[in-house]
Amino acid sequence: MNETTKHKGLRRHLIQRLRIKGIQSKDVLNLMLDVPRHLFMDPSLINFAYEDNAYPISSDQTISQPYTVAFQSELLDVSATHKVLEIGTGSGYQTAILLGLSSMVYTIERQQALFKKTQRLFLQLGYRPKKHIFGDGYKGLPTEAPFDRIIVTAGAPVVPKPLLNQLTIGGKLVIPIGEKEQIMTRFIRTSKTSFDKEEFGRFRFVPLLENKN
Ligand code: SAH
C-alpha cells in the first residue's frame, strides 16, 4: 500500500469517529477526508496525524484536535461567498479546511517563527489565503473588516471587542472563552449594537495572547 492510500484510509477512520462524536456537516467531513493533516504536523509525530488528539507544533503551540477543528468549522457555518477571518493560524490545518469552504480567508498568527514556517508550507502545498498576516489578532483586521465569519483558535479570557465590531450584521464569531478551560461560544450579530450568544461545551486551547510580538 502506498503512503497516499494509507493516509486516506486513516483519514476515513478518523472521519467515522468524528461522525460518531456528532459532527454532521458533509462539507466539513469531506474536507477533513481530503486535507493531509500529516503534512501540517511536526515530522516526529507524523504517525499520530490521524489520531483525534492535539499535538505540539513549534513555538510551544499546538495543532488543534481534529474533533475541535470539525466542531468549530461546523459552528462557523461558512458558505462560499463569506469573508472569513481566522485568529491563530498555527500549523495552518484549520486554515486549509476554511479554504475549502470559502476562497476569502484571512488569517493572523502572532508567533513569528511559526508564521514563517506555515507561510512556506502554504506555498509548498498550494494553499492561498487572501492574506496571511504576522500580528496580534486580538485587534482583528480593521483594514479588511467587516467579516461574515470570525474564528478564534486560541483560548480568550474574554471576548475581544474589536472582533465583535468587525462582524457584518448576521455575521458569526466562534471563540473558546475562558482561562484554564474554555467554553466554546458563538456570537451572532443581530444589529449594529446587539448580539446573540450561544454556548457549546468545554474545550482546552493554548491561550490567546495580547500585544506581544
Ligand atoms: N488552528 C491552529 C491552532 C494553533 S494553536 C492549528 O490547528 O494549528 C493557537 C494559535 O494561536 C497559536 O499558533 C498561537 O501562537 C496563536 N495566537 C495566540 N494569540 C494570538 C494573537 N493574539 N493573535 C494571533 N495569533 C495568536
pLDDT of 135-152, one tens digit each? 999 999 999 999 999 999
The verdict on whether omega for the bond into residue 66 sits within 30 degrees of 0, i.e. cis, is: no
pLDDT at 212 over 70: no
Helix boundaries (H) for 77-158: 93-101, 112-125
Q: Is 154 in the pocket of ligand 1 (CB under 6 A)?
A: yes
Annotated active-site residue 64? The verdict is yes
Q: Provide the terminal-to-terminal Cα distance of the chain, rounded to the nearest Å.
A: 45
What architecture is domain 5-203?
Answer: 3-Layer(aba) Sandwich (3.40)
Q: Which of 111, 110, 53, 103 is nearest to 82 (CA)?
A: 103
H or E element, residue 104 = strand 104-109
Q: What is the pTM of this model?
A: 0.96
pLDDT of residue 213: 46
Q: Whose C-alpha lies nearest to ligand 1, atom 2?
A: 90
pLDDT of residue 3: 72
pLDDT over 90 for what percent of the chain?
A: 93
pLDDT band for 1, please (50, 70, 90 cuts). low
Active-site entry in 25, 64, 73, 91: 64
pLDDT band for 199, please (50, 70, 90 cuts). very high
pLDDT of residue 22: 97
pLDDT of residue 4: 83
Distance separating alpha carbons of residues 188 and 31, to the nearest angstrom: 25
User: Stretch 86-115: mean pLDDT, rounded?
Assistant: 97
Q: Which CA distances in Å does 60 have to 110, 120, 153, 175, 211?
A: 12, 19, 15, 21, 17
pLDDT of residue 87: 98
User: Stretch 25-50: mean pLDDT, rounded?
Assistant: 96
Residue 212 · residue 138 · CB < 8 Å: no
pLDDT at 129 over 70: yes
What's the 169 CA to ligand 1 centre distance in angstroms? 26
Distance separating alpha carbons of residues 191 and 93, to the nearest angstrom: 32
Residue 139 · residue 162 · CB < 8 Å: yes
pLDDT digits (tens, 9 = 90+) for 172-194: 999 999 999 999 999 999 999 99
* Grid cell of 33 as nine digits: 477526508
User: Stretch 25-38: mean pLDDT, rounded?
Assistant: 97
Q: Which CA distances in Å does 195 have to 43, 99, 163, 179, 191?
A: 42, 26, 12, 22, 7
pLDDT over 70 for what percent of the chain?
A: 98
Q: Whose C-alpha lies nearest to ligand 1, atom 3?
A: 90
CB-based contacts of 30, cutoff 8 Å, min separation 6: none
